[in-house]
């Protein structure tokens, strides 16, 4: 990418505020790469979690880095954000989907027609929030049955975009995931993005 292209991209998300919902056990690169893509495009990112402090990242089954939490999901207002990102890691969404506050936070983005990007095990939160009926999605392969049972049209593709809902399978898909995520956030609300 030339310097001219880079400078043209840096303001793509200027004025946009994006929530990344995560807790302990998130797959580190699935949080850090989207976070960096958003900030490099001029957006502002807040890490939203169950409690203040730090959350523990993972590199597959090895401990990764800790990330500082900016807001608690119980008091975070979805109206304050333009989009939502849901990283994977098995423990992360499995813990979050037990939180009524986290589930309602996710559902609110669909009710407000805002872009949502979920990767790997992140789409578990979409199942719990009841927002995948009739939607075309992908995920980590082990979630296929859960998503189909929740009414989704599951496909095995690198990156799937359905009216503001961006999903991908694994960290290997992050380049396509981040590019499409930034594009959808820049576009803003999508009328067909509904709960």
Domains observed in the chain: 3-187 (3.40.50.880)
- Check if the beta carbon of residue 168 is closer than 8 Å to that of residue 138: yes
Catalytic positions, please?
A: 120-121
Predicted pLDDT of residue 9: 54
**Residue 195's pLDDT band (cuts 50, 70, 90):** confident
Q: Which two tokens stand for residue 54?
A: 């730090």
Q: What is residue 1's predicted lDDT score, i.e. its pLDDT?
A: 39
SS3 string, 60-77, reads CCEEEEEEECCEECCCCC
The secondary structure element, H or E, covering residue 38 is helix 28-40
pLDDT for 97-119, tens place per residue? Answer: 999 999 999 999 999 999 999 99
Tokens for 134, please give them. 């009739």
Contact between residue 120 and residue 170 where contact means Cβ atoms under 8 Å apart: yes
């Amino acid at each position: 990418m030339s310097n001219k292209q880079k400078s043209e991209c840096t303001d793509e998300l200027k004025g946009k505020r994006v929530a990344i919902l995560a807790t302990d056990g998130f797959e580190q690169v699935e949080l850090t790469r989207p976070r960096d893509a958003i900030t490099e495009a001029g957006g502002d990112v807040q890490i939203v979690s169950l409690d203040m402090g730090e959350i523990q990242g993972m590199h597959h089954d090895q401990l990764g880095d800790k990330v500082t939490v900016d807001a608690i999901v119980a008091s975070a207002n979805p109206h304050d954000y333009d989009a939502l990102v849901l990283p994977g890691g098995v423990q992360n969404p499995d813990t979050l989907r037990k939180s009524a506050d986290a589930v309602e936070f996710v559902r609110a983005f669909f009710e407000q027609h805002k872009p949502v990007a979920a990767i790997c095990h992140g789409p578990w939160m979409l199942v719990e929030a009841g927002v995948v009926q009739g939607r075309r999605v992908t995920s980590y392969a082990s979630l296929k049955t859960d998503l189909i049972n929740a009414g989704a049209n599951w496909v095995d593709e690198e990156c799937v975009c359905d009216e503001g809902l961006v999903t991908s399978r694994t960290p290997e898909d992050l380049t396509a995931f981040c590019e499409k995520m930034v594009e959808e956030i820049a576009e803003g609300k999508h009328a067909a993005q509904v709960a």
